Chains A and B, each alone.
Chain A
Amino acid sequence: MPIRPPLRSHLRPLLRPLLAFGLVAAYLTGPCSGASAKDTGLIFVSNEKTNNVIIIDPKTNKVVKDLRTSRRPRDMHFSADHTKLYVACGDDDVIDIIDVAKLEVVGKLTTGSSPETFGIDEKRRRIYVSNEEGSSLSVIDMDQNIIIHEIPTGAEPEGVFVSEDGHFVYVTSEVGDLVHLIDADTGNVVQDVVVGTRPRRFAATPDGKELWVSAELSGEVYIIDRKEFAVQGKIEFLPPGMRKSDVTPVDLRITKDGKTAYVTLGHAAHVAVVDVATRKVQSYILVGKRSWGLGLTRDEKTLYVANGFGDDVTIIDLNTRKATVSIPVGRIPWGVVIDD
């Protein structure tokens, strides 16, 4: 991927409206022009081994599109207006940009070596992406498509969380058993905190006080107090009939009211439902093998779980806390996002 040279600054104000016009035009004339770019409700599943994003219509639970991407698509995030979907593709060192209305790859951003997960700061037009092979966090200028900064991290950085005000970025190092706190303004690691073995992903409580991080191999979720940047507690899991060593938590979500958390338990083939206030596990929901990625609908009534070793996605009705159906997708599904 060639890096596009920065645009001349005097051209940039002219180009923005042009680009916007182009998008609107594409939207009006595109093949999906009947559908709205927003709130389609479509489910997007990235598949590591088949290099595609499978798109499912939640009303029929049918696959409506098999979208080729660059190789090894993993983490996905929508732009704030949901017109674009960004997909980190680990084997091509790019983030693909998907036009949500057209369901086509319309561009690419260059990253470091083997991008895995990322966070977007829309205000500063920046993407922070962890480079699994490069042991670094790349800071990408989304408009210029250039890496403006490369921050060294511990080996195998994974989870990325950008603070609400954009001033701090939290990154896990899977090998270092660390969470780095990075000052987004200076690009320096300002502090590290030691957590459990092989830390993977983050979820923040809506009150901004706690950051939860999954520790895959020690089978725990650590709770970091964001003000003190210190471990404040941890949650352990043990679904019925499982052994502690089967429990390998990866993805997690916290509901908007800050009351409930959902945690995938990997090889233990369950999703844990946690009461956030008491930090107690309320129930376990049976899903597929090596459950990793989670997608939660906006109404928080449905949970989608990517089963890495089942090549399918399990749909959970959160009212009954039961799996309703599993839909085959690509090989090694990694993550789920929902356009709603």
Chain B
Amino acid sequence: MSVAPPRPMPVPMTVVTGFLGSGKTTLIANLLRRPELSRTAVIINEFGEIGLDHELIESSEEDLVELSTGCLCCVMRGDLTNAVRRLMDKRAEGRGFERIVLETTGLADPAPIVHAAIADPALRALVRLDRVAVTVDALTALTSLDAHEESRSQVAQADVLLITKTDLGDDDVGALLERTARINPDAAMHFPVRGEIEPAVIIGGNSRSTGPFETGSERAPQGEGNSGNYGLTLRRSEGSSRRALPDHHGHHHHHGHGPDEITSVSLRLETPIPAVALTLFLQALAETMGPDLLRLKGIVEVAEAPDTPAVVHGVRHVFHPMRWLDDWPGGSRDSRLVLIGKRISGPWVRALLETITEEVAEASGQ
């Protein structure tokens, strides 16, 4: 009589979500450099035709799955199960990862993903949801929380809130902390600087739905009405409040439908862009689109430095200084730009860039 091989234990999975440009990729990239997380497989879900985030995360190809054909929370939950299954097959073949980190799109409502991880038998057999970590951009989150239901849902579903970019602005984050505390008073709160955080913040031995866990050194708001008291340490107890998961059939997503809904535009550029033209392009784009530009990211061949691709990041009107990579990731030297926002037209963006590039060439006598 043959005996069925024992089923492998479900692997702990941390969901890292957060609104567009709030620092998810930076956080994960930094965490993966830590020895404690060396045995981690990563699933990246991106919004847009051209995936870029996977290029910025150093991980072996075998331990990284990119899902860029849609948003997991909308249409790709089956794809998530398949992605996890592919990873688990590799694990059975000897890939020794012991946890999974899933980076969602910046527009994902994590609720359906959490629901699938808890309730979908196929997925539950493969993974055990560890926790939901949500990055919150200290510079732009108040606006995002006002304007985007997805952002509010992300905060509401968080086990851990990671308030990013507090080192970049002079603004008091008190209003933001009050706001997040009203949405989710139970979440532990941390303040990573440049994506640096202790791994224990986003991984742990405990399932999201069972058992208390110590949150150590975090500062945690104590709920609406106590917003000034951020110095206390929160200890979550079993049975602490969890927001109800929405009924899947009642779950609506608006990004991608209708003229005022959020869409993405992806550009591949065949020729290098002069640094001045790139800067003028970013300025014209942000100025013309105003609040409708939510996110811009890209890997660009700058004409003056063709061997060191520039990573461009903008969140709303805030642009970060270009970061230079040592080499072209993935072997392709094409410049790639992804813009996410409302009423963006790909031809318009391309025409703007081409026009500015020509103007710069004309002004420089080329």
Q: Do A and B bind each other?
A: no
Interface set of B (CB-CB < 8 Å, partner A): none
